[in-house]
Amino acid sequence: MYSLIRTQKGPTAIYFENNFYRLQKQNKNGTKRWVCTNRSCSCSLLIKDERLQIVRGQHNHTNEKPSLSIIQTIDNLRQTVCSNVSKPITQIYNEILSTYRQNNGTAELVPMFDMLRSTLYRDRATVLPKLPHSLHRLILPNVFIKNLYNENMLFCDKKRPSRILGFASITAIKQLDLPDELQKESVKRQLANILSLPLLPINKIIAAFHDAADSLVIINRNFQTFVDYVEKTYITSPKFNPVNWNHYNTLSNRPRTNNQ
DNA sequence: AAGTGCTAAAGGGGAGCGCT
DNA sequence: AGCGCTCCCCTTTAGCACTT
């Protein structure tokens, strides 16, 4: 009996007695002719109603195909890395290989992880979103703009002149009694100014912070709690003072990671 | 053209070590 | 015990040549 398998490029093929066959044609009488995938080989199978009718020819080539169980295991591996994207690929490989060894013993030669690694990572990449090359190309899926209570967390996504993203839950904003204020462009601008403090020369940080803080408190006195928190944690704190988080002198010089 | 095998490298995190 | 530092391993990605 033959087995249906998936070829490297996706289409269905037949695995029969250590050889692969591809579908060549379907005849008017309902039979299908499958030919050996080796181009110089004329061997073929005639199949009707999923039953093997005739085997024609002799293979004129050597055969180094892996066994059907190995082929199915690799296919299972490739499907699993796509369906379970949160689990490390090496862990998936080890688990599936372990199961295979338990069921089939240790005699069969199984492809090493190094031989499958690139294929598995490329397979997974087909089901994951593309990495953005700039902040403007960053796409936020719905799952990333809601919290565990399914509340909308993205309150600001300003595209120009620079991309500004702001996250906070409605519940948290209501606790500050500021939900309406956060819709104002002037408030978004001052919050962005505070977030941009690490990019200023260090001797201008304190003045810039107080400018932004004063503007926020003038708009609404309830911003005072937020302003006090930032000042206490990042301006006057000896542990996280501006020397620690200022990046002005490292701009364009410091090597960047890909966490852009 | 698409898929694969192989290599090099980046980045994160744990282990080990010495110091306080 | 806690902290900081270095080294090394593991995971992941990218690039290139080759195969299908």
What does pLDDT average to over chain A?
Answer: 72
Give residue A59's pLDDT.
Answer: 64
pLDDT at residue A210, as a whole number: 94
The stretch A147-156 carries a mean pLDDT of 78
Q: Does the pLDDT value for residue A212 go beyond 90? A: yes
* Angstrom distance, A260 CA to B10 C1': 14
Domains (range + CATH), chain A: 3-56 (2.20.25.240), 68-127 (no CATH), 135-250 (no CATH)
Does residue A248 surpass a pLDDT of 80? no
Flag residues 69-98 of A with CB < 7 Å from strand C: 88-91
Residues engaging strand B (CB under 7 angstroms): A 8-10, 111, 114-119, 122-123, 255-259
Q: Say how far A29 CA is from B18 C1', in Å.
A: 83
CA atoms within 13 A on the CB side of A81: 24
Percent of chain A predicted with pLDDT > 90 = 5
Please report which confidence band the pLDDT of residue A260 belongs to, taking 50, 70 and 90 as the band edges. Answer: very low
What is residue A73's predicted lDDT score, i.e. its pLDDT? 73
The tens digit of pLDDT for each residue in A72-107 reads 777 777 777 777 766 777 777 777 777 777 777 666
> Within 10 A of A15 (CB to CB), how many other CB atoms are there?
18
What is the nearest nucleotide to A119, using C1' and CA? Answer: B4
Instruction: Compute the distance between CA of residue A41 and CA of residue A102 in angstroms, rounded to an integer.
Output: 37
Cα pseudo-dihedral A135, A141, A146, A147, rounded to 10:
-90
Structure tokens at A182: 């956060």
d(CA A168, CA A81) in angstroms, rounded, equals 33
pLDDT of residue A38: 60
Nucleotide nearest to A124 (CA to C1'): C12
At A122-134, the pLDDT tens digits run 677 666 655 554 5
The winner for highest mean pLDDT among A33-42, A56-65, A234-243 is A234-243
Assess whether pLDDT exceeds 60 at residue A258.
Answer: no
Cα(first)–Cα(last) distance of chain A, in Å?
Answer: 55
Calculate the angstrom distance between C1' of C12 and CA of A218. Answer: 49
State yes or no: pLDDT of A30 exceeds 90: no
Task: Name residues whose C-beta falls within 8 Å of residue A92's C-beta, 6 or more positions apart in sequence.
Answer: A77, A80, A81, A84, A120
Give tens-digit pLDDT for A161-206: 666 777 777 777 777 777 677 778 888 888 888 888 888 888 899 9
